[in-house]
Each structure stands twice: as C-alpha cells, then as structure tokens.
Amino acid sequence: MKIAFLFPGQGSQSVGMGREFTVASRAAAAVFQEADDALGFPLSRLCFEGPETDLALTANTQPAVLTASVAAAAALAERGVTPQLAAGHSLGEYSALVVAGALRFADAVRLVRRRGEFMQEAVSVGVGAMAALLGVELSVAEEVCAEAAQGEVVGVANINSPGQIVIAGHRGAVERAVRGAAARGGRKSVILPVSAPFHSALMKPAADRLAVELDSVQVLAPRIPVARNVDAGLTTTADEVKPFLVRQVQSPVRWTDCLERLAREGTTAYVEVGPGRVLTGLLKRNLDGTRGLAVEDPASLEKTLAALTLAALTEIPRAERGGGESA
C-alpha cells in the first residue's frame, strides 16, 4: 500500500484532544512533554482540560493542534504505520513537515505559536472576515470576489472541495461577496466565527514576520514528499520548505488540488491524523469512491490498524495467496 497522512488545521481542536494517547502511547506522551518544554508552559494541560475559550485563541490553537497531530502520528509509528506521502490543511502542513522529518518538532511548535500571534495581529479584530460559499464553483467565487472588492480586499482563501469555497478579506467586501454568491445561485453562504481573514492578502504583515522567524530555523530535506497548500506541488528538498511556508500565510489553501496530487502519486490509503474528521469528510467529496481512515484516539487507531491490515491483504494478488489462476 501507499499510505498518505492528512493533517488537520485550525478549527479541528477540542478540549481533551490527545489525552487518551498519552496514557496508551509512550511516544505520544513524549510529544506532549516536548511541546511543554519548548513553549515553557503546560500546553498539554490546555489541550486536555481547556478552558475552551483559551484553547480557541489562535496563538494557542495552532501549537495545540500541531502537537495533538504529531502525537497521533507518533502513536501510529509506534505500531509500525508510517506514510509514504503527506499533506496538511493550512496549519496541518507544519504537522506534515514534522512527520516527514523536514522540521524539528520543537522548532515547529514554537514557529506555529508565533505564526498564530502574527496572523492575529496582522488585522484588527472586526476589520476582517471569512465566509464559506456552498454550492458555488471556484470560477464563480472568484468572479463575485472581484465584483465585491470595490477597493477593499476579498479573495478565495480555501478551496476545500467542489462547491465548498472559503473566502477572506475586509468584512464589508466579504459580506458583499456573500450576497453576490446568493444572487449567482449559491446554495448557502455562512460568515465563519474566526478572528482574522486567514489566507488573504491582508496577511502579508504576518507572512513578513514569519519569514524572519524561519530564518533562524534549520530545515532538512523531507524523507517523504509533502503536498504543498500553495500550488499542490511536492516538497522534496530543504530549499522548498521555508519559501512555501511564507507564501502559504497569504495564499489560498488548494486542498482539492492537494488531494488530486496525492491520488496521481498512487496513494491507496488516506489516514487523517489528529483531532477531528473534517479532512475525512472532504476526501469523499473530492475523490469519488475514496474513503479515508481517521486516527484521533487509541480506539480509532485500533480500527485504522485493522482496516489497513485488511486492505493490505486484499491487495496481495490471488496467485500469491494460493488458489488463484495465473494469467
């Protein structure tokens, strides 16, 4: 089998995430301890106990989701399951790069905490907004954003699946785009409860500050290819890591293209690794007939191991198992 790990981004967090893994897996527990040591405060307690209001703060959410995701991957590795490819949605790209060996975990957890701070500080609260446009194709979303701008910033932020596009920018422009999508036959549009217009041109100050932080971080060539959010290309060298992480902050997350790239690379099993199951749902909407597995706690880990074992057996040619006809 060719396994691809998919790592979730901000919004997948929940109080209690990762706690059961720290009891069941020494490797996972070590990840949470390393995060606490790297940040200088008990991030693990925030993940396990909350409060939810603190966990939802961008500067806390980003290192928390990264840590829970890398811990889940560590628990999988402990059981002998490692990926041949990886991708992550927005913040999740850092998790993918850590598991691929391109970033040290301690560096990554500090980086994403700063990334969260930079993104939050780039735009004053209330100035920006994000909205999900449902039932609208990408070309229509781009058209309504162009019409709604009127001197402000608004554009596509996430291409999650056909018919599910997220936009971001100045609040007024986003609201005009929402009305424009409805006039074009959009099924539903929803202003999202987020604190900043992520993955929009308004994030340039955050990207510039992140570039400075990245300058002091050592990166290595990933052991496995990582599909990039910015262009769905594969990061395979150390030189590609930093520039694309900087660009990612203010560029659309091309998740549909990432999944299609993984499919073209011959992926036969997709495993969402970390809290929540948002990416598993998006997988079904993007790749017809494809179902993903999810690992967010020890129980789902056992189910995934059983499913992967069964899938591996069914991929063995019948002739190799005995009783099959030779062609």
CATH number where 144 lies: 3.30.70.250
> b or e along 265-276 (b: 16 or more beta carbons within 10 Å of the residue's beta carbon)?
eebebbbbbbbb
* Helices within the chain (DSSP H only): 19-24, 26-39, 43-49, 52-55, 58-78, 92-99, 105-122, 138-149, 171-183, 204-215, 241-248, 255-264, 278-286, 298-315, 318-321
Which residue has 């500067």 as its token pair? 59
Catalytic residue among 12, 25, 170, 199: 199
Q: Kindly state whether residue 78 falls inside one of the protein's structural domains.
A: yes
Q: Kindly state whether residue 269 falls inside one of the protein's structural domains.
A: yes
* DSSP state, residue 2: -
281 and 162 assigned to the same domain: no
The confidence score (pLDDT) of residue 125 equals 87
The confidence score (pLDDT) of residue 308 equals 96
112 and 226 assigned to the same domain: yes
Q: Kindly state whether residue 22 falls inside one of the protein's structural domains.
A: yes
Report how far residue 231's alpha carbon sits from residue 37's, in angstroms, rounded to the nearest whole number.
Answer: 34
| Predicted TM-score (pTM) of this structure | 0.94
| pLDDT single digits (tens) 269-316 | 999 999 999 999 999 999 999 999 999 999 999 999 999 999 888 765
Helix (H, G, I), strand (E, B), or coil: what is residue 5? strand
Residue partners of 187: CB distance under 8 A and separation at least 6: 134, 135, 136, 163
- Tokens standing for residue 307: 């499913």
pLDDT at 327 over 50: no
170 and 118 assigned to the same domain: no
pLDDT at 317 over 70: no
pLDDT at 321 over 60: no
Q: pLDDT band for 326, please (50, 70, 90 cuts).
A: very low
**Which of 3 and 126 is assigned the larger pLDDT?**
3
What share of the chain has pLDDT > 90, as a percent? 91
Q: Kindly state whether residue 267 falls inside one of the protein's structural domains.
A: yes
- What domain range is 141 assigned to? 128-191
Q: Which of 23, 24, 113, 26 is closest to 67 using CA atoms?
A: 113
Last residue of a domain, one of 163, 191, 219: 191
54 and 133 assigned to the same domain: no
Q: Kindly state whether residue 326 falls inside one of the protein's structural domains.
A: no
Q: Kindly state whether residue 69 falls inside one of the protein's structural domains.
A: yes
Question: In terms of C-beta distances under 8 Å and separation of at least 24 residues, what long-range contacts does 36-44 make, across chains too?
Answer: 37/106, 38/105, 38/106, 38/109, 38/110, 39/63, 39/109, 39/110, 39/113, 43/67, 43/109, 44/18
Q: Kindly state whether residue 85 falls inside one of the protein's structural domains.
A: yes
16 and 157 assigned to the same domain: no
Report how far residue 105's alpha carbon sits from residue 99's, in angstroms, rounded to the nearest whole number.
Answer: 8
Tell me the average pLDDT across 102-125: 96
Q: pLDDT band for 194, please (50, 70, 90 cuts).
A: confident
What share of the chain has pLDDT > 70, as a percent? 96
Lowest mean pLDDT among 41-45, 57-61, 205-209, 323-327: 323-327
The confidence score (pLDDT) of residue 320 equals 46
Q: Kindly state whether residue 209 falls inside one of the protein's structural domains.
A: yes
**Which of 240 and 311 is assigned the larger pLDDT?**
240
184 and 209 assigned to the same domain: no
pLDDT at 325 over 50: no
Q: pLDDT band for 201, please (50, 70, 90 cuts).
A: very high
220 and 306 assigned to the same domain: yes
231 and 112 assigned to the same domain: yes
pLDDT at 318 over 90: no
170 is a catalytic site residue: no
Residue 80's region, left for phi above 0, alpha for psi from -120 to 50, else beta, is: left
Is residue 129 within a helix (H) or strand (E), and if so which, with residue range? strand 128-134
295 and 233 assigned to the same domain: yes
Length of the chain: 327
The confidence score (pLDDT) of residue 316 equals 55
Compute the Cα dihedral for 97, 221, 257, 159 and give only its sign.
positive
Tell me the average pLDDT across 49-59: 95
Catalytic residue among 90, 95, 161, 251: 90
42 and 162 assigned to the same domain: no
Domain count, the chain: 2
The confidence score (pLDDT) of residue 158 equals 98
113 and 13 assigned to the same domain: yes
CATH number where 316 lies: 3.40.366.10
If you average pLDDT over every residue of the chain, what do you get?
94
217 and 171 assigned to the same domain: no
* DSSP state, residue 253: B
90 is a catalytic site residue: yes
pLDDT at 323 over 50: no
